[in-house]
Structure 1
Amino acid sequence: MSVKKLTVFMALIAALSLPSVEAANQEIRALFQPDSSQPNKNVFVNKTPNSGYCADFPSECASNGMFSIRVPIRFSTFTPLFSSNGVWVKVPAAWQVLNVTNQQTQQTRPVEVRISGIGSRFRLSKPVTELTGESDVGEAHRKLWEGSSWVYAAPPCLYSGWGLPSPTTYQFFWKTPVQGSCIKTAAMDVGHMDFEYLDIAYELRTPDPLTMPTGTYTGALTYSVGAGGADFNMGPFFRADDSSLTLDFVLDVHHALKVDLPPGGDKVTMEPVGGWQRWIDTGRMPTEIYRDQQFYLSASSPFKVMMICNSLGGTECGIGNNEVGFSKFEVKLTLPRGITGPGNSDGWSGTLSHNTWLGPFEPTRYVDRKPGTLRFQIPRRWIESLLKPGMNGTLWGNVTIIFDSEV
């Protein structure tokens, strides 16, 4: 008798003074792939390279679960800033939901995203020392704005600990814990200024990858850019050279479904407990004839199981040949813990049926090479006919157990 296996690898921004008509796009990519060294870490890994703030301060972003991208959106004044005029830094800091769709199955899952920080480098039309009359560049930047220089965020934005001044520029980054405009007010006449780009920090809430079939999921979230009520704006004195920013999300899900048999595990010999000698010596008919065959399962997504054998249907498979006779056997499957089956039982166990899918079986975590069991057994009602006089020799048969991720 042989057991065959099917192993399936599862394969988740240019006019300065005219209304903007352009749009900017940025891809955000994340991947789920089971990791045998961290089987309980069932999360997406952001694969989008950091640029801007998080590229400069990776430990700060890692400790806060932030990622950042630099997008070439420029804001410019269309009228000079005078004393008491403000720069209204506003970003979409609240969580927003978009759906990502599996390109093959059209199944959708929700993704949440929020903008958790904003930064840039602004450029003045005149040196800051000329605007303030202060010879020290750092002190000049502090005097130009109420509440000191741009390293100090205007509420409700928060300080990030970073600012880089020069005579005509200032590079900064602020955290944005809540929705709102963070208004930095000029203490003196500023004149014209530009924000040369946007450093955007973002946070993601992704779905449970164990519930997502293998594939690539895509979706997009578009933000408005400009003045007034735009998602990204710098207040009433600035225009942007792009009217929108679209984040294109790509989630790649690469599941694993693998079944391994130990060496020689594809040949199974059923016999009574202790072998046949006791029956030969005593004539006492055994009550059980079986063999337990261990296998090792790795799974990170739902799957189903089916048995194919010599059968007209049901749980019993034919075994034997014309020389020695025929009998019947059944196959009982026991899965490792961490896999739930019908009835939501953990470590599911049950008898397989010919040409009938059983499942779905769903991992509650990534199961990495955990042992399960296939029990091949002669039903008790068939033992007596199997051991009748004149039936000598070896009965053989084939059975195929299919593990399939296409639930």
Structure 2
Amino acid sequence: MDFSFGTVRTFGKGWFFVHVLAGVFSSSALAVTQEIRASFIPDPANPQNNQFINQTPQSGYCATYVNDCKAYNLSGLRLPLRFSAIHAIEPGAPERAGATLKAPAQWRSLNVSNVVTGESHPVEIRIGALGSQYVLSDTVTDLTGASNDLEGHNRLWVGGSWGGAPGSCQHGAMATYGPDSYTFFWRTPSDSACSKAAAFSIPWMTYDYLDLGYELRTPDPLVMSAGLYTGELNYSIAPGGDFDMGDNMLPDNSSLTFRFVLDVQHVLKVALPPGGNRIELVPQGGWQAWLQEGRRPARLFRDQTFNISASSKFKMFFQCEYGGIGACALRDTETGSTFPQVYLSVSLPHGITDMAGQPVRQRPLTDDSQGTIFQPKRFLERAAGTLHFEIPAFYVEQMLQPGKARRYAGNITVIWDSEV
């Protein structure tokens, strides 16, 4: 007696994508917008890496001194923000009337939303460093009477040049200078202001641009559906604002907007071994006990392996050629009647769980298109799973009659669907 199924087909949505957009800025009269780009693409060569990759082009200090920023997990941007003194910086002046810098160093959070479905996830950013090039109204030798530029920059400020950071700030590894300019980069571990007091009168000074070192915290891409996610975070630039350079050094723009675009790319692929689309249901140990001794088998079954590559949640269900209730019927090829019920269940590889975080072992499947949802905990590449097909004893007893041969067949379509 031969029991067989037709094709077991697999369906998926192929590749999915995760990225964050950045690297291009736009400026208007009072605002600067900076986009930040990152991406998640599952890597079969490195399946344990389930992190976004920041693809924002590096610029400014961190582009030149990559290792210095990398050691503190900072990425760098140079922004077209200019600050100019509105009056002279005098020795003994209050900090806010001189040279003081304050960055939003604490973590800020925003939600990014899928542009199609509205699904949202949190992203966090902190400003971990500030830098610029100050330009003076005159050379440091003329301002201080020093014999050379290095001596002049050291004498111009109480406590020495800007190569050493004041207060809670920490200086970067490198600084450069010219006759009337000094390029600096200070790490900002806290929101506290860092101030330099002038030792000589400085008639006028500017910061020609703003270098930022920033750090990101991105969501777990494995719990995100594929697609583009966008969101914005605004910072004020003003005395008393998020970026605060004191009451003397005023900005030419009043706000900075970070625009995030997350592009999530996922994988869902299922492959059967050759011949795996034809399922023959047989008793434990074969048919010999029935044919030779008349002992009716307890059940008919087949375990069919498959390989799955997955990086995000998916659902599974099945469709029947011949209907059933939570199972599929088979057709008697001789009489045309449909009778026995085939039940399906699935065992998934380690690393894929149900939505309660439990392992998946012989989990029953249904013909409900809402399906049963499963969640990878990491990217799996060609991991082995098993489909379990079974006709229980109740139906086997009615199918097998001594001296009567029957053949039952039917198609069952098993669906792995990434659109959850």
For the aligned pair, the TM-score class normalised by the smaller chain equals over 0.9
1:301 corresponds in structure 2 to 312
2:47 is paired with a residue of what secondary structure?
coil
Q: Is the 8 A contact 1:122 1:196 kept in 2?
A: yes
Query: Do structure 1's residue 142 and structure 2's residue 150 form an aligned pair?
Result: no
**Residue 61 to residue 385, structure 1, CA distance change in 2 (3 Å):** same
Structure 1 range deviating more: 94-103 or 336-345: 336-345
Counterpart selection for 1:214 from 208, 213, 226: 226
1:308-346 Cα offsets, whole Å, 9 max, x none, are 013444232122334266533221211112222265422
2:165 corresponds in structure 1 to 153
2:41 corresponds in structure 1 to 33
1:232 corresponds in structure 2 to 243
The structural deviation recorded for 1:59 is 1.8
* Whole-angstrom CA distance in 1 between matches of 2:82 and 2:163: 20
* Whole-angstrom CA distance in 2 between matches of 1:200 and 1:222: 15
Query: Do structure 1's residue 122 and structure 2's residue 134 form an aligned pair?
Result: yes
1:75-102 Cα offsets, whole Å, 9 max, x none, are 1112122223420111111111111111
**Residue 221 to residue 316, structure 1, CA distance change in 2 (3 Å):** closer
* Whole-angstrom CA distance in 1 between matches of 2:106 and 2:262: 22
2:411 corresponds in structure 1 to 398
Query: Do structure 1's residue 45 and structure 2's residue 53 form an aligned pair?
Result: yes
Query: Do structure 1's residue 91 and structure 2's residue 103 form an aligned pair?
Result: yes
Q: What amino acid maps onto 2:156 in structure 1?
A: L
* Whole-angstrom CA distance in 2 between matches of 1:363 and 1:233: 45
2:409 is paired with a residue of what secondary structure?
coil
The structural deviation recorded for 1:52 is 0.9
Structure 1 range deviating more: 388-397 or 266-275: 388-397
1:241 corresponds in structure 2 to 252
Counterpart selection for 1:373 from 372, 377, 386: 386
Q: Is the 8 A contact 2:332 2:406 kept in 1?
A: no
Counterpart selection for 2:301 from 265, 290, 305: 290
Q: What amino acid maps onto 2:11 in structure 1?
A: L
**Residue 242 to residue 176, structure 1, CA distance change in 2 (3 Å):** same
Q: What amino acid maps onto 2:405 in structure 1?
A: N
2:395 corresponds in structure 1 to 382
- Contiguous gaps of at least 5 residues in structure 1: 14-19
Q: Is the 8 A contact 1:66 1:203 kept in 2?
A: yes
Query: Do structure 1's residue 260 and structure 2's residue 265 form an aligned pair?
Result: no
* Whole-angstrom CA distance in 2 between matches of 1:359 and 1:83: 72
The structural deviation recorded for 1:27 is 0.3
1:265 is paired with a residue of what secondary structure?
coil
1:62 corresponds in structure 2 to 70
How many residue pairs end up in the alignment?
A: 400
Q: Is the 8 A contact 2:298 2:396 kept in 1?
A: yes
* Whole-angstrom CA distance in 1 between matches of 2:237 and 2:342: 70
Q: Is the 8 A contact 2:362 2:388 kept in 1?
A: no
Structure 1 range deviating more: 211-220 or 352-361: 352-361
1:232 is paired with a residue of what secondary structure?
coil
1:161 is paired with a residue of what secondary structure?
coil
Q: Is the 8 A contact 1:341 1:348 kept in 2?
A: no
2:22 corresponds in structure 1 to none
**Residue 336 to residue 111, structure 1, CA distance change in 2 (3 Å):** same
Q: After TM superposition, list the pairs within 5 Å mapping 1:306-385 onto structure 2.
A: 306-323=317-334, 326=338, 327-341=340-354, 343-385=356-398
Q: Is the 8 A contact 1:261 1:295 kept in 2?
A: yes
Q: Is the 8 A contact 2:40 2:51 kept in 1?
A: yes
TM-score normalised according to structure 2 size: 0.90
Q: Is the 8 A contact 2:110 2:231 kept in 1?
A: yes
2:21 corresponds in structure 1 to none
2:13 corresponds in structure 1 to 8
* Whole-angstrom CA distance in 1 between matches of 2:287 and 2:331: 18
* Whole-angstrom CA distance in 1 between matches of 2:394 and 2:198: 93
**Residue 78 to residue 129, structure 1, CA distance change in 2 (3 Å):** same
The structural deviation recorded for 1:199 is 0.5
The structural deviation recorded for 1:385 is 2.4
* Whole-angstrom CA distance in 2 between matches of 1:294 and 1:36: 21
**Residue 148 to residue 342, structure 1, CA distance change in 2 (3 Å):** closer
Q: What amino acid maps onto 1:245 in structure 2?
A: L
Counterpart selection for 1:81 from 75, 84, 89: 89
1:350-376 Cα offsets, whole Å, 9 max, x none, are 222223433221222222221110011
* Whole-angstrom CA distance in 2 between matches of 1:168 and 1:342: 63
* Whole-angstrom CA distance in 2 between matches of 1:329 and 1:215: 37
**Residue 348 to residue 275, structure 1, CA distance change in 2 (3 Å):** closer
Structure 1 range deviating more: 1-10 or 278-287: 278-287
- Contiguous gaps of at least 5 residues in structure 2: 19-24
The structural deviation recorded for 1:394 is 3.9
1:4 is paired with a residue of what secondary structure?
coil
* Whole-angstrom CA distance in 2 between matches of 1:54 and 1:361: 41
* Whole-angstrom CA distance in 2 between matches of 1:390 and 1:308: 33
* Whole-angstrom CA distance in 1 between matches of 2:259 and 2:380: 31
